[in-house]
Amino acid sequence: MSRSLKKGPYVDEKLFRKVQRLSDQNRRIPIKTWARACTIVPEFVGHTFQVHNGRHFIDVFCTEDMVGHKLGEFSLTRLFRGHTNKKEGVKMRR
């Protein structure tokens, strides 16, 4: 189910303020964030975020195409390394 239009998109306040501050100073430094649920708004375009995936921070460079998606969509939380090889019988780790 989609979010009520009345509320507008969910944007993490703190993150948004930080982006604005950087934009005002014309600085583009990567921003570390845990706000995966935050929608990418047009103001974010051109900034790089380091979005936490539960373990690492993944670099996400926001382009115009990404507007409307959530930051978390670009920072995958699962790692699939293929199925167990029957002959070796051991799951390859890491």
Q: With binding defined as CB under 8 A, does residue 86 bind other proteins?
A: yes
- Binding flag, residue 74, other proteins (CB under 8 A): yes
In angstroms, what is the minimal distance from the CB of 84 to other proteins? 9
- In 3D space, the residue among 75, 82, 81, 79 whose CA is nearest the CA of residue 31 turns out to be 75
Among 1, 65, 92, 93, binds other proteins (CB under 8 A): 65
Taking the complex as a whole, the smallest distance from the CB of residue 83 to other proteins amounts, in Å, to 8
Report helix, strand or coil for 32: strand
Residue 11 CB, shortest distance to other proteins, in Å, is: 18
